[in-house]
Amino acid sequence: MDPSRISLRPYNLSDVDDFLLWASDDRVTRYLRWDEITSREEALAYLEMVAIPHPWRRSICLDDRSIGYISIKPESGDDRCRAHIGYAVAAEYWGHGMATLALKMAVSKVFDEIPDLVRLHALVELENKASQRVLEKVGFVKEGLLRKYGFCKGEIRDMFVYSFLSTDKLL
């Protein structure tokens, strides 16, 4: 895959059909806190009310077509030095390095774009080995296991926490 074909950009309402292709796939949303999106109307509403107004949610694009997302959510107040990062990529692109490349792109920018940010952290379910590998290939450090930490799809689940600091180097 030619890395120049991958980009990150804010969402537009015109992304709705590409977004719906991967956001309606339960394989993609399996480890996300939101369920698959099943209609064009629901996809438009999600883009308009969630993705577009989000302070740092980017569409992962292949040739400017949405194939996934990266979201960085900074904390506020005294915790503004931290932010949570989450991401997903269309199943047809799994195993092609797209998530790793997109995550490297996001991490290389976000510490400059969010001035007080020092730490990014990601929570990953134990079963989600592919996402753990993506984080490790980027340079995130596995810090530990949080038992019964995250509620997702009707269950309270164990999660690994990974972090990347502003002083860390991308791999």
Using alpha carbons only, give the angle 106, 107, 108 rounded to the nearest 5 degrees.
90
List all residues 6 or more positions away from 97 whose beta carbon is below 8 Å from its beta carbon.
Answer: 1
The answer to whether 82 touches 118, Cβ cutoff 8 Å, is yes
Q: pLDDT per residue over 72-131, tens digit each?
A: 999 999 999 999 999 999 999 999 999 999 999 999 999 999 989 999 999 999 999 999
Number of H helices, E strands in the chain: 5, 7
Say whether 12 sits in a helix, a strand or coil. Answer: coil
Say how many C-beta atoms besides its own lie within 10 A of residue 64's C-beta. Answer: 11
- Strand 119-125 and strand 82-89: the pairing is parallel
Q: Looking at residues 131-136, what average pLDDT do you find?
A: 97
Provide the residue count of the chain: 171
pLDDT tens, position by position, 27-36 = 998 888 788 8
